[in-house]
Structure 1
Amino acid sequence: MKILYMGTAAAEGWPGLFCSCPVCSHARAAGGRNLRTRTQAMLDDDLLLDFPPDTYCHALNYGLDLGKIQTLLVTHSHMDHWFPTDLIHRHEHFGHGAEGVLEIYGNEAVEKAFYDHILIDRFKPHPIDDVVHFHRTHGGDHIRSGAWEIVAVPADHDKREEPLVYICKKDGKTVFYGHDTGANLSQAAWDLLAAERFDLVSLDATMGQKTIGGYHMGLPDIEPFLAKLAALGCVDSHTVKVINHFSHNGEMTHDQLTAWGAARGILAAYDGMTVEF
């Protein structure tokens, strides 16, 4: 199995769109892996995780034919993870040759945003019911999509909706994709995680050297979270461990994040990073 990290930043991007803080100024000057678009990933070329405003540039940057994708998991409705207007372009009027139906899974707020963006007067002549299906999803749901077995896990994030993180399984490999979430998961969430043995774990590290006690994680949360997974038998020395979804407000450069991870056997994701496992 492989995962492609197409975007690895929080909502503002990195450097932040209107920001001149030291970390953003450094990123603009240094370029390369210091430049991060909004978080999105793809598993095995056929399962898409989130749909941010940067999806179009990701498709260009990585030579992707998104018309072949038939499974999209959306974590929550925040704009850096969910930009549904672009999905109208799966209609034959805008794009030709998309394969089958794109099955989208997300919570009620994600569903509402989807229909609010698609069911507008301008798009009424181009209904996408035949090419995009939305499935309202709740924590604890078990999903089968193509060759994938997926478990939706309640996240520790925005209390105004039901944010989800996902366990994804195929061909004997299992991934935990944990963005966006804090470390304070519910018992129901921990029970779902405890039932699995992970080949790769990707964890939210938005806050960098800080911790805010929920909503997002920072580096001080990562090792205790991994230790709990290890105590449950979910991870071991063979599990690939990744930190991802970084904000400039974490006040760490790419090199600093990489060094922190290297000292602990953890990869710091960057835009374009592919991990095979």
Structure 2
Amino acid sequence: MKIRYLGTAAAEGWPALFCSCPICTKARAEGGKNLRTRTQAIVDGELLLDFPPDTYCHALKYGLELARIQTLLVTHSHMDHWFPTDLIHRHEHFGHGVTGVLDVYGNQAVKDAFDAHILVDRFKPHPIGDVVHFHVTHGGDRIQSHGWEIIAVPADHDKREECLVYICKKDGKTFFYGHDTGLNLSEEAWKLIAAEHYDLVSLDATMGTKRIDGYHMGLADDEIMFAKLAELGCTDDHTVKVINHFSHNGEMTHDQLEAWGAQRGIHVAYDGMEIEF
């Protein structure tokens, strides 16, 4: 199984769109792995995780044929994870040769945003009900989609909606994709997480050196989470550990993040990074 991190930044991107802080200034000057678009990942070229406004950019940069994607998991409705307007382009009027149906899974707020952007007068001549099917998803739901077994897990994020993270399984491999969430997961969430053994775990590291009470994790929270997963028997020495979803407000450069990860056997995601597991 192979995961590719298409984008690895928080909502404002990195360097942030309107920011001149030292971290953003350094990123603009040095480029390379310091330049991060909004968070998105693809697994085995067929399972897409989140749909940010940078999706078109990702498709161009990495040569993705998104017409072939048939499963899309959306974590929550924040704009850096969900830009539904672009899904209108799956209609034959805009995109030719689309394969089958795109099954989209997300919470009610994600569905509401989809409806608000797609079910408008401008797009009425181009209904996409035959090529995009939306499935309102709740924590604890078990999904079967095009050979994937997916478990939706309640996240510790925006309390105004039912944010989700996902456990995904196929062909004997299992991974946990934990973006966006804080450390204060519910008893229901831990029960779902603890029931699995993971080949790869990808955790939120938005806050960098800082800590907040939930919503996102920083590096100290990541260490606690990885330790708890090991204690529960969910991971072992062969489990690939990744941190992802970075903000310039975490006040660490990519080199500093990599140095931190190297000391702990943790991969620091960057745009375009591929990991086979």
What's the TM-score bracket when you normalise by the shorter of the two chains? over 0.9
Q: Tell me the SS of whatever aligns to 2:177.
A: strand
Output aligned runs, 1:37-76, within 5 Å: 37-76=37-76
Counterpart in the other structure of 1:147? 147
Distance in 2 (CA, whole Å) between partners of 1:219 and 1:210 is 8
Structure 1 residue 99: deviation in Å? 0.3
Output aligned runs, 1:196-215, within 5 Å: 196-215=196-215
Distance in 2 (CA, whole Å) between partners of 1:103 and 1:161 is 21
Structure 1 residue 122: deviation in Å? 0.4
Counterpart in the other structure of 2:267? 267
Flag structure 2 segments of 5+ consecutive residues without an equivalent: none
Structure 1 residue 231: deviation in Å? 1.1
Distance in 2 (CA, whole Å) between partners of 1:42 and 1:95 is 21
Q: Tell me the SS of whatever aligns to 2:193.
A: helix
Output aligned runs, 1:84-233, within 5 Å: 84-233=84-233
What's the CA shift string for 1:71-119, capped at 9, x where partnerless? 0000000000000000000000000001000000000000000010000
**Which amino acid counterpart does residue 77 of structure 1 have in structure 2?**
S
**Which amino acid counterpart does residue 61 of structure 2 have in structure 1?**
N
Q: TM-score, normalised by structure 1?
A: 1.00
Q: TM-score, normalised by structure 2?
A: 1.00
Residue 234 (1) aligns with residue 234 (2): yes
**Which amino acid counterpart does residue 43 of structure 2 have in structure 1?**
L
Structure 1 residue 189: deviation in Å? 0.2
**Which amino acid counterpart does residue 94 of structure 1 have in structure 2?**
F
Aligned residues: 277
Distance in 2 (CA, whole Å) between partners of 1:66 and 1:40 is 13
Counterpart in the other structure of 1:6? 6
Runs of 4+ with >2 A deviation: none
Distance in 1 (CA, whole Å) between partners of 2:43 and 2:195 is 21
Residue 18 (1) aligns with residue 11 (2): no
Q: Tell me the SS of whatever aligns to 2:256.
A: helix
Distance in 2 (CA, whole Å) between partners of 1:224 and 1:37 is 27
Distance in 2 (CA, whole Å) between partners of 1:119 and 1:272 is 33
What's the CA shift string for 1:16-69, capped at 9, x where partnerless? 000000000000000000000000000110000000000000000000000000
Q: Tell me the SS of whatever aligns to 1:128.
A: coil
Q: Tell me the SS of whatever aligns to 2:95.
A: coil
Distance in 1 (CA, whole Å) between partners of 2:9 and 2:206 is 8
Q: What is the aligned-residue RMSD (CA, Å)?
A: 0.3
Structure 1 residue 213: deviation in Å? 1.6
Counterpart in the other structure of 1:250? 250
